[in-house]
Structure 1
């Protein structure tokens, strides 16, 4: 699991791991937004945060259940449960307890690379407050999350693979 701060380089890291031949799963939030824009259903986070969070949980669970072998996820069940709790005050703890990841890496806030775009409309301040909730949720769920270094994408990928005892090439 690669989680952490919005705009912290998670998707770029996943792209590098995919380039090296590893299985990856793209962030549910961006896929949901793309589905809405393509007319395939879902909800936009700025229009209906609760429905968006429920879609993210469903997609994260499906991603988890479809994965086999070493797979790197860009966000997942814990992140979606945090979003659901923030939007509705409903507990996502049952999903967090049921769908466990073997390893968790956290991308810390990195203001120097943070950018908004058509899908990431929230401010850095909002990203930071979300980060605090997500990082706490992983810790509260019993994960011993590893903080990713702020370095080049290649060095970050090397760091993750070394932590997992894998080779650089896959």
Structure 2
């Protein structure tokens, strides 16, 4: 039987990591976003911005990492397992940036499913850019649409999390889990 994997997704700067940390502090099992880790590993190898310099390689590394997380979730003893971004996020970003990719990306989405998806809407008041997040807020709005469409394309019905304090948003997710 597959473990109950819950994806928390949304465009850049929507509060995903803060919610994941809150859920974790409440004793929930959580897996964190890996894109910053992929970026930092590439920087150690001398590639300043892997996403900008080699977007397909960046996406391949993200895909590998998210598939690993999927299997890691299967080893967890506490359910549900909350995951900061899922495999379809990789495709949504590649579609947004018009990056060509092979069928291995769509096949990974079809092979590795999630129980439920929560999407955080763009929120200008909390949006901040930094060294790893270089999208403008307008780009974040567009990426959010791509994420929503991509998850729907793979058969999910993303539940939009209302804006509000982190704890309220985390509790909304906990109170709206499917059986």
- Equivalent positions of 1:10-29 (< 5 A) are 10-29=16-35
> SS of 1:88's equivalent?
coil
Partners of 1:28 and 1:76 within 8 A in 2: no
**TM-score, with length taken from structure 1:** 0.89
Tell me by how many angstroms 1:84 deviates. 3.8
Which residue is equivalent to 2:112? 99
- Pair 157,64 (structure 1): closer, same or farther in 2 beyond 3 Å: same
Deviations 1:80-136 (A, max 9, x none): 122344321434321111111101000011111111001101211222221111110
Residue 143, structure 1, aligned to residue 143, structure 2? no
**TM-score, with length taken from structure 2:** 0.85
- Pair 75,51 (structure 1): closer, same or farther in 2 beyond 3 Å: same
Task: Return the alpha-carbon distance in structure 2 between the equivalents of residues 124 and 46 of structure 1.
Answer: 18
- Picking from 126, 134, 151, the partner of 2:139 is 126
Partners of 1:24 and 1:73 within 8 A in 2: yes
Residue 75, structure 1, aligned to residue 121, structure 2? no
Which residue is equivalent to 1:2? 8
Structure 2 unmatched ranges of 5 or more:
1-6
Partners of 2:8 and 2:119 within 8 A in 1: yes
Tell me by how many angstroms 1:39 deviates. 4.2
Task: Return the alpha-carbon distance in structure 2 between the equivalents of residues 27 and 45 of structure 1.
Answer: 15
CA RMSD of aligned residues (A): 2.2
Which residue is equivalent to 2:99? 87
Aligned residues: 166
Tell me by how many angstroms 1:146 deviates. 0.5
> SS of 2:156's equivalent?
coil
- Picking from 35, 43, 52, the partner of 1:37 is 43
Structure 1 unmatched ranges of 5 or more:
none
